[in-house]
């Protein structure tokens, strides 16, 4: 199994969710492709109700965010 390291945009998005609680989608950057990618990696979880959609970072997302930044040189 390959260990995935988040890229800059993924890290930046995950930073909005650092509190660990649910965050309304309207307060997050509007980048559905990135959100779908993070959901696919199981770094985010989503819940929807009458008040709208919310996201929070999973434990796997927190672990990924702790990994060192890969620098291409």
CA pair distance 32, 70, nearest whole angstrom: 24
Specify whether the backbone of 42 is left (phi greater than 0), alpha (psi in -120 to 50) or beta: left
Q: pLDDT by residue for the chain (73 residues), tens digit each?
A: 456 889 989 999 999 999 989 999 999 999 999 999 999 999 999 999 999 999 999 999 999 999 887 777 6
* 48 three-state secondary structure: strand
pTM comes to 0.85
């Amino acid at each position: 199994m390959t260990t995935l390291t988040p890229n800059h945009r993924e890290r930046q998005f995950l930073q909005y969710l650092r509190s660990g609680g649910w965050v309304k989608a309207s307060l997050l950057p509007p980048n559905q492709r990135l959100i779908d990618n993070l959901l696919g990696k199981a770094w985010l979880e989503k819940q929807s109700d009458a008040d709208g959609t919310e996201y929070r970072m999973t434990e796997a997302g927190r672990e990924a965010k702790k990994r060192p930044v890969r620098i291409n040189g």
